A = this chain, B = another copy of it.
């Protein structure tokens, strides 16, 4: 199937799984769950969900299980955005072109909405239509990517280096944890749904961390070259805060050149191992490189 049509199909599968998970685990009578739905179902690129689905598909795995894992990783990603936007963290009022959760609701409701999304992400996995060992593998992957040796550690590093000048090595460590670890969790959950071999998981991890880094470099570039309308959030916030980014290190052009080089490498490695079946994941990486928001 052609890339765009395939992308749309995965997106439909992810959306259906998210709707089903919301119906089951985010009851309408709770305001906290309405706040969670506001943030969860309010759009977004769904890259993590699409990674879970496409990796599973590439390996010929169980798409029904993968769809549940895809919903789970989006719920987890959404919780991290809600908590990240809170006044005690980044204090962002705008997210995806709309008021962020604590602005649309309240601070306490937004915090609980994040808590509920994090909890329900694991409940979705535990209730996925798959063999217990597959669910356990997925839960391990999500826990490892989201927790103390992954995303939360990345958030800690990000706050720590907000005011300090970071080296490229430190910057890479932040991105590897803050973005790469959850992207890897998405990929590994797709692999779990397909019963992938350890070697396959390792190759996919390289792809995931590479993709995460490219994604962040492009983010840094868009922060100085895009408009608030295109991005759906304020621009220039990094330089205003005096944050080290790949743009402050190499300039916008230098950063893009680095992203391009990294991208070529991860696509080449993937094709070497998975051949023609890697086509979708390669094109996805390419699209994330040239994206405008």
Distance of A31 Cα from B152 Cα, bound (Å): 11
Q: Is the CB of B120 within 8 A of A118?
A: no
Q: Is the CB of B143 within 8 A of A120?
A: yes
In chain A between 121 and 166, which residues have their CB closer than 8 angstroms to a CB of chain B?
Answer: 122-123, 125-127, 131-133, 135-136, 139-140, 142-144, 146-149, 152-153, 155-156, 159-160
In chain A between 168 and 211, which residues have their CB closer than 8 angstroms to a CB of chain B?
Answer: none
Chain B residues contacting A146 (CB-CB under 8 Å) are 119
What are the interface flags for A3-34 relative to B under an 8 Å C-beta threshold, 1 for contact and 0 otherwise?
Answer: 00000000000000000000001110011110
Distance of A116 Cα from B79 Cα, bound (Å): 12
Q: Is the CB of B115 within 8 A of A143?
A: no
**With A89-B108, A155-B112 as given contacts, are A132 and B123 in contact (CB-CB < 8 Å)?**
no
What are the interface flags for A74-107 relative to B under an 8 Å C-beta threshold, 1 for contact and 0 otherwise?
Answer: 0000010001001011000000000000000011
The answer to whether the Cβ of A111 comes within 8 Å of any Cβ in the partner chain is yes
How many copies altogether?
Answer: 2
Q: Is the CB of B135 within 8 A of A123?
A: no
Distance of A143 Cα from B25 Cα, bound (Å): 10
Chain B residues contacting A86 (CB-CB under 8 Å) are 88, 111
Q: Is the CB of A156 within 8 A of B30?
A: yes
**With A107-B88, A132-B132, A140-B127 as given contacts, are A152 and B83 in contact (CB-CB < 8 Å)?**
no
Dominant SS among interface residues on chain A? helix
CB nearest to A22 among chain B residues: B148
**With A25-B148, A156-B32 as given contacts, are A139 and B123 in contact (CB-CB < 8 Å)?**
yes
Highest count of chain B CB atoms <10 Å: which of A26, A133, A143, A148: A148
Distance of A133 Cα from B112 Cα, bound (Å): 29
Highest count of chain B CB atoms <10 Å: which of A33, A83, A156: A156
A-B contact pairs, 11 of them (CB 8 A): A32-B148, A32-B153, A112-B152, A114-B115, A115-B152, A122-B122, A122-B142, A122-B143, A123-B147, A126-B140, A127-B140
A→B interface (CB under 8 Å):
25-27, 30-33, 36, 79, 83, 86, 88-89, 106-109, 111-112, 114-116, 118-120, 122-123, 125-127, 131-133, 135-136, 139-140, 142-144, 146-149, 152-153, 155-156, 159-160
Q: Which 10 A-B pairs have the closest CB atoms?
A: A123-B143, A132-B132, A126-B139, A119-B147, A88-B107, A132-B133, A122-B122, A126-B140, A132-B136, A116-B152
